[in-house]
Structure 1
């Protein structure tokens, strides 16, 4: 173990030393004139003619191109549907965030009222067994009746005819 440490410490300590190296031209090589900065290839554009040559397509590239042309109508349809549904989804998300804020800061007594109205809907669903029309009428009717007990002013406005906004007779 001690020999391994000795053999690794020597080269490692030499790497920490710094020294200068002076280079001189060979004695038998002819002395060249110094090169100017603008003559360096780094600062000048090499002269030459470039020509674009299109490579031939491989069978893999051909099959991918055929697949892309086949799928293009479907992808454009998906993009179109996404652009149509994106605003609706954003408004739905905003509505959900607004509802979440309302439920976080609900007025006192809101949740018990909501429970009674929901329970009335479940009772209506239980009483509507057997008939599809009853299932469509009883739950919303019972929920509306329970809601009108808690919110009478809004129920009166909802029931009165002629309270439709933007109707021609209501100016």
Structure 2
């Protein structure tokens, strides 16, 4: 059975991504065609990229990189829960992605963006990065608005239609993850 990592793409205090990732996980775990796991980049304590060799060579020298590599290698696909910071993704997520290369290759990804405009610009920025890493991002994405999916910008309370958005995205990620597993094998 394929395994999908739900990546919390922020390390910021007071971040909204953790609550969103848990909500996505609760929807996802009802499926019987994949296993899902939340991966919080904050728990890996990755410094600014500090490996001497480019990641495509997989010559890691730091324990934190080895731990991160092992975790990402476990997955056949990903759901990126990504905040929009200044029309792009968080620096913490970009840094975490940049630590690795081959661990990402030929896998599928879905995007759950959040921000004032539903994280649309962050999602588009992330798509360019994913393309370089040979990650097939699916078309369906989830756009969580700080205005309509939160009470007073604090308490996460997604609009009823959002669950269907997640289900549509998950359908595509699971299908593509299964297909790309044959490419990696």
Same fold (TM over 0.5): no
**Of the two, which has the highest radius of gyration?**
1
| Structure 1 length-normalised TM | 0.21
| Structure 2 length-normalised TM | 0.20
Q: Which has the higher strand share?
A: 2
